[in-house]
Amino acid sequence: MYVLSLPESQTASTPFVTPPRVSFGLPADLYQVARKLPMDDPTFITYLRIAYVATQLLSFAIYFYITMVVSLADIKCCCLNPDALATI
C-alpha cells in the first residue's frame, strides 16, 4: 500500500476547514452558540422567528431567480434554433 506524504513545505498550507471539520466540528460549535441564546426571552424569540422567515424568503427568492434564468435560457435557445422545438 502506497501512503502519500506531503513535503514539509505543504503541510503548513493545508486548510483549517476540512470536510471532517465541517461534518463534526461545525454542528458542535453551533450547539455551543445555541446554548448561550436566551430562549426564555419573548422579544428574542420574536426576532428569531423574523430571522427564520427572512432566511426562508431569501432562499425562495434565490430558487425563483435561478429557475427563471434557466427557463429564459431555454426559451432563448428554442427561439434561436426553431429545430430544437421539433426534438422536444
Give domain status of residue 12, yes or no: no
Q: pLDDT for 9-37, tens place per residue?
A: 555 555 666 777 667 777 888 888 889 99
pTM: predicted TM-score of the whole model, two decimal places:
0.55
Give domain status of residue 9, yes or no: no
* Average confidence (pLDDT) over 50-71: 94
Q: How confident is the model at residue 1 (pLDDT cuts 50, 70, 90)?
A: very low
Helix residue spans in 5-41 (DSSP H): 8-11, 19-20, 26-35
- 82 burial via Cβ count (<10 Å: 0-12, 13-18, 19+): exposed
* Residue 88: predicted pLDDT: 53
Give domain status of residue 2, yes or no: no
Q: pLDDT for 70-81, tens place per residue?
A: 888 777 666 655
Work out how many domains the chain is built from and give that number.
Answer: 1
Domain that holds residue 49: 39-88
Give domain status of residue 82, yes or no: yes
Q: Is 50 in a helix, a strand, or coil? A: helix
